[in-house]
Amino acid sequence: MIKFGETWSELSETGRKVVTRRMDFDSIPEQIAFLRQMIQVYAGTAWAKETALRIIREADCPARNHACYAMAIAEAVQKRIRYIREYPETFQTPPRTWEIRAGDCDDFTTTEGTLLETLGIRNEVVGMKISGKWRHVFLRALIEVPGRRGLRRMPLDATLRNTPVRQMANPITRSLARGLKVETFVV
């Protein structure tokens, strides 16, 4: 159960008012479900539409090519946003993450998910428990492949700055290759 705490306001560098609310979760799966809700809240907003359309235009994606759209969004997020470790854990809105150009894996996930949902691309939030501890969350786009049944799950982990998303292995596969025990929670 989510417990809501105090709120406080401050001004960003650009002079915008930012309201923060303390939240406590009973479990990591509850946090992951919250990330999915955040994606649904911000998908389709003016910020999301303008940002997503600008990205796919700049990438010169063919019309209705969801695989190109998904990759273009992941690459733009990876290029723009710097990964930072947070303590204590905070959950930024996707527009805030885009504005300050920094966040951790959950911020990358909600930003990518919001932009994909805005373009009508279904996706999954994947939480990873590695060797008994919740350590990572990333996004997978669900892409229809012409002539094939089912959906292709395209991992879009944009958190590693030195490895282009296009060349990056699935985070689950990467962890298993290191001999780690992996469990996932998908929403």
Domain of residue 158, CATH code? 3.10.620.30
φ, ψ at 162 (rounded to 5°): -85, -5
Q: How confident is the model at residue 54 (pLDDT cuts 50, 70, 90)?
A: very high
140 or 7: which leads in pLDDT = 140
pTM, rounded to two decimals: 0.91
- Checking if the pLDDT of 3 tops 80, the result is no
Count of domains for the chain: 1
Q: Is residue 37 part of a domain?
A: yes
Q: Is residue 9 part of a domain?
A: no
Q: Is residue 164 part of a domain?
A: yes
Q: Is residue 82 part of a domain?
A: yes
Model confidence pLDDT, tens digit, residues 60-78: 999 999 999 999 999 999 9
Per-residue pLDDT, averaged over 82-89, amounts to 86
Q: What is the pLDDT of residue 90?
A: 83
CB-count exposure of residue 165 (10 Å: 0-12, 13-18, 19+): buried
Q: What is the pLDDT of residue 137?
A: 96
Q: Is residue 6 part of a domain?
A: no
Q: Is residue 11 part of a domain?
A: no
Q: Is residue 62 part of a domain?
A: yes
Q: Is residue 18 part of a domain?
A: no
Provide the domain limits for residue 86: 28-186
Please state, in angstroms and rounded to a whole number, the distance separating the CA atoms of residues 45 and 54: 14
